[in-house]
Structure 1
Amino acid sequence: MNPGIPRLSRLSGELGRSRGSGGSLALRAGGAAALCGALLLLAGCSGPASGSSAPQQPATAPAPTVSGELQDSYQRVVGDVLPSVVEISAGDALGSGVIYDEEGHIVTNAHVVGDAKEFEVVLATGGEAIPARLVFAYQKQDLAVIRLTELPNRLHPATFGDSRAVEVGQIVLAMGNPLGLNSSVTQGIVSAVGRSVSEGEGEATLGDMVQTSADINPGNSGGALVNLSSQVIGIPTLAARNPQMGGDQAPGIGFAIPAATVTFLADQMIENGRVTESGRAVLGVTVRTVLGDGFEPAGAAIAEITEDGPAASAGLRPGDVITALAGEPVTDVVSLAEALAGQRPNQETEVEYLRNEERHTAQVTLGEASA
């Protein structure tokens, strides 16, 4: 996890059924890039509705040299990718999705599908709504796959790029159905990579997110964040709102699940009907937040520890207070989850902790969370 990674905490009573149109999430931030007092909103649903994995290619696009070439590039990318972006109706809520393969699988956000099992999908190319059914929704990474039950004559699967090659400053387009305005496109740049964002204590923590300045509005969730090589590099999921501006959207702060995570999980859902490997790192502990001087959060105390788990094998024990992981400060339960979200299973990581008010460090080989 990088310095300045935003943290999300759920605001009670403000999230809709599908965590979409009315849902606000409080944003806290630390470090040099602090975004104090902002709110994050799941970009999800805008309200009442009006087989084989996708190919992967390097996510490097040639940089246009003049404004005319840039415009031509935008128009080419829109023509290439927009036919792959669909509108999903889940009950009384609306969101976006991306056609994943020719068998009719579509990837979207778990908060877009909510608790629904059946959906109506409208292709960007028009026509009547097509029925679809849920394959699997993986809440821990806010990702879901649905499948069309009736295949049209021709589908236009997207090409997923290598999100690990994405660089800050790269031009991107966001495609989806914001506020029910189907087949809409916004543009921006990649603002940061490797962000970890949390919806709050006890809620999902999403790791390795791509931050973008492209506008992400309600209804964009599950759509496509695309580079100028016509490759999907992420699935837009979160947008920022600022309570100091009356809850208006804070422009230029959006987050997308990276393509590498999308393909890793979607392939499992399609093949197995569920996620079998989470790819998420764990310490093997149950923790609680402890307070320090001034009643400020001061660490994550180990309440329970998994026998023979990563932390226990490294010598940690109940009562120890974790204060840092992989060089990232840990002040509470949420910040520990965020730090872990930036790590990988089987990775050796330094953990700093207090035992009887004395500082210690341990090298921990992280485990993998159950799916």
Structure 2
Amino acid sequence: MDALCSRSRVRRLLLPLSAGVCAIALVSGCSDSTSPAPKPEATTSGSAQPGSASKATGDLQSEYQSVIKDVLPSVVQIDASNSLGSGIVYDAKGHIVTNAHVVGDEKKFKVTAATGEKVLSASLVAAYPDQDLAVIKLDDVPEGLKAAKFGDSEKVEVGQIVLAMGSPLGLSSSVTQGIVSALGRTVSESRAGGGTGATIANMVQTSAAINPGNSGGALVNLNSEVIGIPTLAATDPQMGDSAAPGIGFAIPVSMVRTVADQIIKSGKVTDSGRAALDITGRTVVNDSYQPAGVAIVSVGKGGAAEKAGLRVGDIITELGDTPVTTITSLSEALAGRKPGQKVTVTYQRSEAEKTADVTLGEI
């Protein structure tokens, strides 16, 4: 998966694309042959009104324009000297939430509002690469700064119309349209192209076009509420790892608010809510050079793995019922679990298969 941050050193239209793959199963749409045909008498001469379609189109267009007018002033462009991305005004105090890969290692930023006002300076509050989120703060808060309205992840549904707002390829104040294609996606971000390498759970999949520079921007519903932050795009290995059209991913608003609130209050994330084994590991291969598990390289003292009796050299092959073949698949398996949850870990030690009941720790 690609982090969607425009890098100034890249001359091509898109960023170098990673080998991360999102496999999508396509199902054809079929009509229900058992449904009764409409009765002739049900049709009346007044059932089709000329201009009704254009009226519906006009109503939807007006909704789009209203949402754009409401939200776009709260979406900013962030210049981090060697990268360009987007951000959302989080509150009236000048806090702006964005992606961690947008800010990178920078501490100071230039921020431009969508309304075309003068360039403002901002400073990093904190970044949380494990969830690819960060908060920066304007050094001087301009009068009339408008914070975005953040929605409720529980009310997001597949099929909802959404708008993506940001600065794709440096084109500030750009808006694209699509729908929520799926919910609950767990996606691993590549480190290529400036990504953090994070594995992020519960992402919102969308068909709205998102490109480099959209990172950190807003995915918005027709109630003018931010429901996510566009972060990643799928790549297609059959097309030379070019971007797969219409498959983008946004961090859900629930996680955005959780992380941003903690950073603003404490200057860091104090409760990640993310499960961990408290190990470092590496992918190992079998005799056929295929990924076959994760070898434990080190075990955190007093951590979940050590308490369960796991030790350096053990090779993890399953977490619960989920096969583990790579460090990425282990991260994805953990992403769907919570700290304190108990899980059975299957591992190999001296070529013998063993299991351990582990109470998961926290990142």
TM range (shorter): 0.7 to 0.9
- The higher radius of gyration belongs to 2
Residue 328 (structure 1) shift: 2.4
Match in the other structure for 1:368: 362
Counting aligned pairs with the same residue, the percent is: 59
* Number of the residue aligned with 1:273: 267
230, 251, 257: which one aligns with 1:257: 251
Q: In the alignment, which residue of structure 1 is the partner of 2:339?
A: 345
Instruction: Provide the residue aligned with 1:28 in structure 2.
Output: 21
Matched with 1:161 is 151
**Residue 147 (1) aligns with residue 137 (2):** yes
8 Å CA contact 2:22–2:234 kept in 1: the answer is no
> CA 1:287/1:115 → structure 2, altered by over 3 Å: closer, same or farther?
closer
The answer to whether residue 176 in structure 2 is matched with residue 186 in structure 1 is yes
- Give yes or no for the alignment of 1:195 onto 2:189: no
**Unaligned 5+ runs, structure 1:** 1-7, 35-64
Q: Which residue is 2:226 aligned to?
A: 232
* TM-score, length basis structure 1: 0.78
Q: Does 1:77 align with 2:67?
A: yes
CA-to-aligned-CA distance 1:223-277 (integer Å, 9 cap, x gap): 0011222211111111234354355432111111111111111112212222223
SS of the equivalent of 2:19 reads strand
Contact 2:299 2:312 in 1 (8 A): yes
CA RMSD, 1 decimal: 2.9
Q: Deviations over 1:283-336 (max 9, x none)?
A: 122323222242211111334333442233334344433222243221011211
Q: Does 1:119 align with 2:127?
A: no
1:91, 1:285 → 2: CA distance? Answer: 35
Structure-1 residue corresponding to 2:236: 242
CA distance in structure 1 between the partners assigned to 2:238 and 2:308 by the alignment: 45
User: Any idea what SS the aligned residue of 1:87 has?
Assistant: strand
- C-alpha distance in 1, partners of 2:155/2:322? 24
Alignment match of 2:213 (pick from 193, 211, 219): 219
Query: Which residue in 1 is equivalent to 2:122?
Result: 132
Measured at CA, do residues 169 and 355 of structure 1 come closer, stay the same or move farther in structure 2, by a change above 3 Å?
A: farther
Size of the alignment, in residue pairs?
327
- Report how far residue 33 of structure 1 moved: 4.3
Paired residue type of 1:221: S
CA distance, structure 2, for counterparts of residue 268 and residue 122 of structure 1: 25
Structure 1 298/165 Cα, relative in aligned 2: closer, same or farther at 3 Å? Answer: farther
Q: Using the alignment, how far apart are the partners of 2:235 and 2:286 within structure 1? A: 30
State which of 102, 106, 124 in structure 1 corresponds to 2:96: 106
Query: Which structure 2 segments of 5+ residues have no match?
Result: 27-54
> Does the CA contact (< 8 Å) of 1:163 and 1:233 recur in 2?
yes
Which residue type is aligned with residue 22 of structure 1?
Answer: L
Q: Which residue identity lines up with residue 20 of structure 2 in the other structure? A: L
Helix, strand or coil at the partner of 1:161:
coil
Most deviating of 166-175 and 104-113: 166-175
Which stretch of the first structure deviates more once superposed, 314-323 or 134-143?
314-323
Q: Helix, strand or coil: the match of 1:28? A: coil
Call closer, same or farther: CA 1:180–1:315 in 2, change over 3 Å.
Answer: same
C-alpha separation between the residues in 1 aligned to 2:359 and 2:166? 40
Contact 1:17 1:114 in 2 (8 A): no
CA contact (8 A) 2:8 2:84 kept: no
